[in-house]
A and B are shown apart, each in its own frame.
Chain A
């Protein structure tokens, strides 16, 4: 779980009586999150379902999800980290300045009320979205919120969970952690895995022009990445595996059409709470699966000479 204080959605469904959504819009991006897990379900511990729950939404504007929440807190854009830090101070009864609170766009009364409600909860859960993790502060915002959830456990049960999107991104994190010890931003260029986002993360690598070939699977960076990164993908030999001809396919040297995971290809996908679920394809694809194509490319490369010459000295791991 990467050290975060979290739980499964089953626990939220059965026990979560205080739900915070921070920087996410589940009503439009995860439409069944409310009804299946977080708001509506009735259980032994929450016999009245929605009536037994308090729901808070923290976002920079009132989205469709605000209608589903009991309390909406409008934070000033880019002030999430400040607001989380203020809440962390308030739960420990530390002094905070009025100016600091005013800067976040949320009033002191709202903060005091929220902290009181958080402490009164039996089982609190914070779901955080890309509005928190992809804006100013980025991973520091997520880290602060995870710390807030951890610190709340001095008073009551409190957990945090990221609202993941994009199909099986959670699975990618889990598989990379299992195989290499790191979740993303990895290099094997010394013969063992090393982790350093910013140095080995894709956008940075492409913008700097470091990579001299790219293998893209189940993603379309040609439609989502900054232009300098796309320009570099067009300069180098790019190989794309996708069920469709994508923007990236159009600038690639090799495109291979594959079956769609979950529709015409079997396998496993991870839910946002890191629960693996089997896929049940309803159709039979005329194309091979991703798994088969990647394995065949790997086998073809394995027949060629290994990239590190015989007798070459490995650079020892740095401590």
Chain B
């Protein structure tokens, strides 16, 4: 097991987005988050790279990623008024794809801000 150190890592837990965190990580988990606050430390230490969940679930049953993507695309395509919602705990790159998805669907697009 190798220990990696990431300097000036970015914490996305709250809106402060602190970018001075020093992360110490082994292969599957972060063991130390220097300079992070209580909330940030909990955020970094509670997420691991373990395979804890199945790749995908369709109607509660385990499925492959490819199947889930096809089923999701079919549901969204068949809908008259599909909604794309959320986009908080994700990257700007994924958010851009979400906007393109809503545009392609002729659907609704909304974020946490409206809550």
Within 8 A of B (CB), among A228-285: 236-237, 239, 243-245, 249, 252-257, 260-272, 275-280, 282-285
Residues of chain B with a CB closer than 8 A to A286's CB? 49-51
One digit per residue, 1 when the CB lies within 8 angstroms of any chain A CB and 0 when it does not, for chain B 54-88 equals 11111100000100111111011111111111111
Cα separation A301 to B74 with both chains bound (whole Å): 7
Q: Are A268 and B104 in contact (CB under 8 A)?
A: no
Instruction: Select one of A165, A174, A210, A301 contacting B76, CB under 8 A.
Output: A301
A173 at the interface (CB under 8 A from B): yes
Interface extent on B, as a size class?
35 or more
Is there contact, CB below 8 Å, between A200 and B110?
A: yes
9-residue interface stretch from A67-75, A88-96, A107-115, A184-192: A184-192
Within 8 A of B (CB), among A177-206: 179-180, 183-191, 193, 197, 200-203, 205-206
**In the bound complex, how far is the Cα of B57 from the Cα of A206, in angstroms?**
23
- Is A176 a contact of B39 with CB atoms below 8 Å? no
For A294, what are the chain B residues with a Cβ–Cβ distance below 8 Å? 94, 97-98, 101
With an 8 A cutoff between CB atoms, is A40 at the interface?
no
Residue in B4, B85, B90 whose beta carbon sits within 8 Å of that of A168 in the complex? B90
A212 to B90, CA, bound (A): 24
Name B20's closest neighbour in chain A (CB-CB): A36
Contact B17 A188 (CB under 8 A): no
Number of interface residues of A (CB under 8 A): 108
Q: What's the least CB distance linking A68 to chain B, in Å? A: 14
Given A172-B111, A272-B17, CB of A262 within 8 Å of CB of B11: yes
Are A218 and B90 closer than 8 Å at their CB atoms?
A: yes
Complex: how many Å from CA A177 to CA B68? 30
Residues of B within 8 A of A298 (CB): 97, 100-101, 104
Of B10, B58, B84, B95, which is within 8 A of A215 by CB? B84
CB of B47 within 8 A of CB of A243, answer yes
**How distant is B41 from chain A, measured CB to nearest CB, in Å?**
10
Which residue of B25, B27, B53, B65 is within 8 Å of A288 (Cβ)?
Answer: B65
In the complex, residue of chain B having the shortest beta-carbon distance to the beta carbon of A278:
B10
Question: In the complex, which residues of chain B have a beta carbon less than 8 angstroms from the beta carbon of A29?
Answer: 14
- Shortest Cβ gap from A29 to chain B (Å): 7
Contacts of A256 in B (CB 8 A): 55-56, 65, 68-69, 72
Complex CA gap A304/B105 in Å reads: 11
Asked if A32 contacts B56 (CB within 8 A), the reply is no
Residues of A within 8 A of B4 (CB): 282
Q: 8 Å CB contacts to B: which residues of A154-173? A: 163-173
A253 to chain B, nearest CB (A): 6
Chain A residue numbers with a CB within 8 Å of B12 are 167-168, 261-262, 269, 279
Cα A166 to Cα B16 in complex, Å, equals 10
* CB neighbours of B25 from chain A (8 A): 282-283
Q: Which of A29, A283, A286 has the most CB of B within 10 A?
A: A283
Tell me if A302 counts as interface (CB < 8 A to partner B): yes
Distance from A258 Cβ to chain B, minimum over Cβ atoms (Å): 8
A101 and B90 CA atoms in complex are apart in Å by 44
For residue A11, which residues in chain B have a CB less than 8 angstroms away from its CB?
A: none
A42 contacts the other chain (CB 8 A): no
A-chain residues with CB within 8 Å of residue B97 when the two chains form the complex: 290-291, 294-295, 298
- Chain A residues in 8 Å Cβ range of B39: 31
- Whether, in the assembled complex, A225 has its beta carbon less than 8 Å from a beta carbon of chain B, the answer is yes
Contact A184 B110, beta carbon cutoff 8 Å: yes
Cα separation A264 to B23 with both chains bound (whole Å): 12
Given contacts A167-B88, A298-B104, 11 further A-B contacts (CB under 8 A): A168-B90, A184-B111, A212-B80, A217-B85, A217-B86, A219-B85, A236-B79, A244-B53, A283-B28, A283-B49, A290-B90
Q: List 19 A-B contacts (CB under 8 A).
A: A37-B16, A165-B14, A169-B113, A171-B92, A172-B87, A187-B108, A190-B106, A202-B114, A203-B114, A237-B75, A253-B58, A257-B54, A268-B91, A269-B17, A279-B91, A283-B49, A285-B49, A293-B69, A304-B73
- For the complex of A and B, 3 pairs with smallest distance between CB atoms: A267-B91, A219-B86, A213-B79
